[in-house]
Amino acid sequence: MEPITYPQYPSTYEMEDASEKLLRQVAPKNWLIKSAERRDMGIDGEVEIRKSLTRQVTGEHFKFQLKSTQRLVWREGMAKSNRIKVSTANYWLGLKVPVFLLQADLTANVIYFAAAGPQLRRMYPDLEGQRSIQLNLNQGQWIGGPDGLRIFESQYVSERGLTEAMGAAEHLLTELLNYAEFLEEAQGRDYMMEADPAEVDRLRDICERVAEVGSHLGEGPILSFDKAVELAEGQLGLGGDVHEYTVTHVCREVEQVMTRFAHSLLIRIHKEEGRYWEVHKPSLHARCARRLTLVEHLLSRTAILPPHKRREAYGQLKQTRV
């Protein structure tokens, strides 16, 4: 009589169980982890983020796929994730919430993370014709690591605000020459003269627009308009309204920051993620293409010209207006 046989529990299931257990052990206490009922859609679960102090649930959430391996192979601080179906990658790109790949290293008892969106947008041209891909993992990006939570929150905020970021980007690129002309024309007047209130309001609006783009780009703290005015007026030593000295000072700061942000946007939208935006937001991609010459002028020609020659340069830049 032959021995009775039974189904075996696959080793892959054991690894999945171990990775799920590890995730719940290392996840921040303010993560409410909900496993997906159906995992064949490329999403293993969702995390709702509650406020740490008040325990309030505010609707902040992200989706994730959890992969596991016995040991990751690292080279110069980078490793490759488990393979991901291209159909899954396309599905992730279509979701309106941030998606993270969580990769468990079961030997090290560590879960690494990667925001899927930025990498998938960069590799968008390579998705066609392939069945599966791998994402890059950074050895410094693991849940519970020294900088892990800060990096994760930065990536989450960036992906969550992607739609708003591209809206702000399109506005800045549309108004770039108008802003540049205003910032140049408003400089160099009688420092002691009180500035036109309408001019100050216009400058405030430009500062806020540029700061909005900077926040979406993940730049560090940007000096607010009110703080910049306070510092400049303090240097001038006069009370009362805003003076032309302050307007010139703020214009020069904003001019440099705005040009740097515009350059970063062009690199990202037109070059690094170009094919993705060409397909999914062609108007923005086309606007970037039309602004390449303008931004190059702002970066180089206006930077090397003395102030009294800049108006001539801006006059020539008008020829590039679209």
Domain ranges of the chain: 11-160, 162-320
Question: Is the pLDDT assigned to residue 220 strictly greater than 70?
Answer: no
Q: What pLDDT sits at residue 231? A: 83
Q: What pLDDT sits at residue 172? A: 93
**Residue range 30-48: mean pLDDT, rounded:** 86
Question: Is the pLDDT assigned to residue 67 strictly greater than 60?
Answer: yes
Lowest mean pLDDT of 114-128, 132-146, 197-211, 300-314, name the range. Answer: 300-314
**Residue range 29-58: mean pLDDT, rounded:** 84
Helix (H, G, I), strand (E, B) or coil at 123: coil
pTM over 0.75: yes
Question: How far apart are alpha carbons 22 and 113 in whole angstroms?
Answer: 13
Q: Does domain 11-160 have CATH number 3.40.1350.10?
A: yes
Q: At a CB cut-off of 8 Å and minimum separation 6, what does 259 contact?
A: 180, 295, 298, 299
258 with 175: CB under 8 angstroms? no
Per-residue pLDDT of 75-86, as tens digits, reads 999 999 999 999
Q: What pLDDT sits at residue 179? A: 93
Lowest mean pLDDT of 58-72, 102-116, 210-224, name the range. Answer: 210-224
End-to-end CA distance of the chain, in Å? 86
90 with 112: CB under 8 angstroms? no
Choose between 188 and 287: higher pLDDT. 287
Choose between 248 and 56: higher pLDDT. 248
101 with 81: CB under 8 angstroms? yes
135 with 155: CB under 8 angstroms? no
With tokens 């090397």, the residue in question is 304
- Rounded to an integer, what is the distance from CA 94 to the centroid of its chain? 17
Percent residues over pLDDT 70 in the chain: 89
**Residue range 103-128: mean pLDDT, rounded:** 95
Nearest CA to 182 out of 241, 248, 246, 242 is that of 248
Question: Is the pLDDT assigned to residue 213 strictly greater than 50?
Answer: yes
Average pLDDT, the chain: 86
